[in-house]
Homo-oligomer: A and B are copies of this chain.
C-alpha cells in the first residue's frame, strides 16, 4: 500500500524530471505513515523530530508536489490552516468534523454522490470535484462534560 504510493510518486517524479532527494523521501515516508488530515505544521514537526535540518518551506513545496502527483488532497479548514489527506486514485470520501475536539471521521455515500451528479447536470455544470463536511459534536465529546 505504502510502497504503491511511493512508486506512484516516483513515476510522477520521473515523468516530470524531478530529482530524488533525501528530504522528499523523508517527507513522503512521514506523510504516508501518518493518520490523515495533517496540517503542514504537524507534518513539519514530525519530520523535524527525526531530521532537524529540514525547513518548513520544503515541507510546503513537497506537499504541493504530492497533490500534483495525485497522492494527497488539500483541504482549507475554517481556522485558516490547510490540511492534507491521503488520496488514492479514483477514491473519494467526505468528512464528519467535530467542532469541539477537531476529530475528523471519513464516510462515503454512493447515493449522495449520485444526487450530486444529478444536481450538476440540472445546472449544466461539469463537476471535477466536491467537498462535503458535516460539522457537529462527536460521540466522545457528547459523553464528556464541557
Q: Kindly specify which of A18-26, A53-61, A127-135 makes contact with the partner chain.
A: A127-135
For residue A131, which residues in chain B have a CB less than 8 angstroms away from its CB? 131-133, 135
Query: How many monomers of this chain does the complex have?
Result: 2
For residue A1, which residues in chain B have a CB less than 8 angstroms away from its CB? none
* A98-146 residues at the B interface, CB under 8 angstroms: 98-99, 105, 107, 109, 111-112, 115-116, 119-120, 123-139, 142
Chain B proximity of A65: nearest CB distance (Å):
18
CB of A77 within 8 Å of the partner chain: yes
For residue A116, which residues in chain B have a CB less than 8 angstroms away from its CB? 112, 132, 134
CB of A74 within 8 Å of the partner chain: yes
Q: How far is the CA of A134 from the CA of B129 in the complex (A)?
A: 6
Task: Say yes or no: A125 contacts B96, CB within 8 Å.
Answer: yes
Q: How far is the CA of A6 from the CA of B50 in the complex (A)?
A: 57
Q: How far is the CA of A107 from the CA of B120 in the complex (A)?
A: 10
Closest residue of B by beta carbon distance from A133 = B131
Which chain A residues have a beta carbon within 8 Å of chain B's beta carbons?
74, 76-78, 80, 96, 98-99, 105, 107, 109, 111-112, 115-116, 119-120, 123-139, 142
Task: Provide a sorted-by-A list of 12 A–B residue pairs whose CB atoms are within 8 angstroms.
Answer: A96-B120, A96-B123, A99-B128, A107-B123, A109-B119, A125-B136, A125-B137, A126-B136, A129-B136, A130-B132, A130-B133, A131-B131
